[in-house]
Chain A
């Protein structure tokens, strides 16, 4: 294919639009990692559940798309808090991260992933479901590039969500408490913070972000029970590239992964598009093991 800047620009724009979605799912993974010291392997399924909840609220109940997204976020947050309270808390009490209980959490996460997928299968079946949304605006035309409203909306909403989250964590008292819990649970507890409650809040927040990503992607790619796995992998890549636990890193990592895989698919080969995200991950791990914005992890006692 002949090289031209119009196409290059298009591929970068496409990369950014999907990259910000990877970014918000990665943000959730980073939040949970910061708060609970665990990697949540069922986060892809929360993303899938969010997409289905948005679909039900929008297409079956008839709530307008923005309302359906908020509804799906709230329901996913409640689901996440329920999962954390009922299944994970017992394990996290014994410690996370590199402890034996931490390993139990990882296995529990895998189990939760399979369980959620099967629950979704029982409720919605295996067929892909269309998620048509009428945005009421024309595609943005830049030279020969046509950017559909769903892509624009995805980028704008994702960036807004990240901005709101940033404001919440930096400038509100609850956000400060969340950061305190993420930094050191024992000291936070001594400062009078209800640590278990805030861990639930962190979990719910992360699940709400995943649900938002699912509702954003639904109109572009349809909604299916198996949609979570690949998103989880890409979001992990984004989180690692950006630096596990770093919130700005998750966003930048997501965008980099999105651009890298789109350019790879465009100029190298599209047959194995998913490889590029992991190639980037390997390169970053080789030269910056803590990720672009991460700090070198301290080994826990």
Chain B
């Protein structure tokens, strides 16, 4: 009798282990690393998780559930790389989504290339991300090289050519600043009237603003993360620089904290982004309402839309992948997902233009969205308003 009990217990334990292993092998594992220190940052991550949850509720991908693991990298490259390593080597994810900040995505590209794991980027704009030549990386947002081209064209034709630059030290802002200066030079033959390299979280711009005021510029480009940009915008007015000097934002001007913190100082600021909440398409109106209802956000910025588009693209790619999902097929499944993402063509979602990828490990193939939209703030504060100035589709090799 005692032997029978032992046998049954062993059978039950073995069955449990086998079923657990089978469950692990049968699911699609997706790792996500994003910056989730701010209120909006947490909601971007939440949106990704919610959308994956909805896919699972609807039956999953070809009958397979998606197991998503969301990690916070706090916009710190060391944490981002640690997250990527954990997700790839411990969680054994089939696909990595991340990150928000360019300074985090850049080193992760090397990790995913070496481990041969497909990586799809939700928010980072630094042009170098896709210029590293990794066959495993895809970018949903518009690359900084396209933003710079549109900004420079608009500035040169409508504002003037004497531009001052305030460039924060984070990777995205540095890239936006450098690319804009290069485009102003190549399109209009002008050098910067003034350039200030400032720290990522600089709080005091008064010295720069005094110098910019003395220089008598036509416009000021502030390339910085949201909070730093807001401080610079406010202090530019405090220094007595009038509204006739136009303020140009980097792509992070799209983030909701900018109009919230800047208040009236954001009025007239224009920037290039991948989505405008002033978009009148029915899909955009539905999305705006959904984000408002679900997350209590007055108007979603382009990081919300990009997170949403990314999940739709991942859904398409996973549906088109022939996945075995066994322990031994991990490498083959990763390759299948990469190839399926590379086959996504002409995806029409919330983004300003169609998103297409292809197989070559070049920026032309891997920068999916090539259509920046030029947006200006009409009103600041929590209930901010924007208007679309232009929407421009760029040639795929622009800025290379």
Interface positions of A (Cβ within 8 A of B):
1, 4, 6-7, 10-11, 14, 18, 125-130, 132, 139, 141, 144-146, 148, 150-151, 220-222, 224, 226-227, 230, 262, 265-266, 269-274
Contact = CB atoms under 8 A, between A and B. Distances in A.
A266 B207 contact: yes
A60 to B, nearest CB: 14
B261 A129 contact: yes
Nearest to A150: B238
Given A141-B240, A146-B240, A221-B203, A266 B38 contact: no
B12 interface: no
A4 B213 CA distance: 13
B57 interface: no
Interface in B232-269: 235, 238-240, 257, 260-263
Contact of A270 (B40, B203, B207, B231): B207
Contacts of B37: 126
Given A126-B39, A141-B240, A14 B201 contact: no
A144 B213 contact: yes
Given A128-B230, A128-B261, A222-B231, 18 more contacts: A7-B211, A7-B214, A10-B210, A127-B39, A127-B227, A128-B226, A128-B257, A139-B238, A144-B213, A220-B204, A266-B207, A266-B210, A270-B196, A270-B198, A270-B207, A271-B169, A273-B199, A273-B202
Contacts of A224: 227
B230 A148 contact: no
Contact of B204 (A18, A129, A145): A18
Given A129-B261, A146-B238, A222 B230 contact: yes
B87 to A, nearest CB: 23
A148 B198 CA distance: 22
A132 B263 contact: yes
Contact of B261 (A146, A220, A222): A222
Contacts of A141: 240
B206 interface: yes
A130 B198 contact: no
Contacts of B207: 11, 14, 262, 265-266, 270
Contacts of A126: 37-39, 41
Given A222-B230, A224-B227, A230 B210 contact: no
A130 B206 contact: no
B197 interface: yes
Interface of B: 37-41, 169, 196-199, 201-204, 206-208, 210-211, 213-214, 226-227, 230-231, 235, 238-240, 257, 260-263
Contacts of B208: 265, 270
B221 to A, nearest CB: 16
26 contacts: A1-B211, A7-B211, A10-B210, A11-B210, A14-B204, A14-B207, A18-B204, A125-B39, A126-B38, A126-B41, A127-B39, A129-B261, A130-B260, A139-B238, A144-B214, A145-B240, A146-B213, A222-B227, A230-B203, A262-B207, A265-B208, A269-B197, A270-B196, A271-B197, A271-B198, A273-B204
A129 B230 CA distance: 11
Given A128-B261, A146-B239, A7 B210 contact: yes
Contacts of A139: 238, 240
A269 B210 CA distance: 15
B201 A226 contact: yes
B296 to A, nearest CB: 13
A6 B214 CA distance: 10
Contacts of B211: 1, 7, 266
B238 A148 contact: yes
Contacts of B41: 126
Nearest to A267: B207
A138 B266 CA distance: 20
Contacts of B197: 269-271
A11 B261 CA distance: 25
Interface-central residue, A7, A265, A266, by most chain B CB under 10 Å: A265
A130 B256 CA distance: 13
A221 B204 contact: yes
Nearest to B204: A18
A130 B203 contact: no
A122 to B, nearest CB: 13
B258 to A, nearest CB: 10
A224 B257 CA distance: 12
Nearest to B215: A1
Contacts of A145: 210, 240
A50 B260 CA distance: 21
A82 to B, nearest CB: 28
A258 to B, nearest CB: 10
Contacts of A148: 238-239
Contacts of A150: 238
List the 7 closest pairs (A to B, CB-CB), nearest first.
A146-B240, A128-B227, A271-B197, A148-B238, A221-B203, A126-B37, A130-B261
A6 to B, nearest CB: 8
Nearest to B238: A148
Contacts of A272: 199
Given A222-B230, A271-B198, A127 B257 contact: yes
Contacts of A274: 199
Interface-central residue, B38, B210, B240, B262, by most chain A CB under 10 Å: B210
Contacts of B40: 127
Nearest to B264: A132
A30 to B, nearest CB: 23
A181 B41 CA distance: 49
Contacts of B240: 139, 141, 145-146
A130 B210 contact: no
A146 B237 CA distance: 10
A273 B203 CA distance: 11
Contacts of A262: 206-207
Nearest to A126: B37
Contacts of A265: 207-208
B40 to A, nearest CB: 8
Given A128-B230, A222-B227, A270-B198, A14 B260 contact: no
A274 to B, nearest CB: 7
A126 B41 CA distance: 10
A177 B207 CA distance: 43
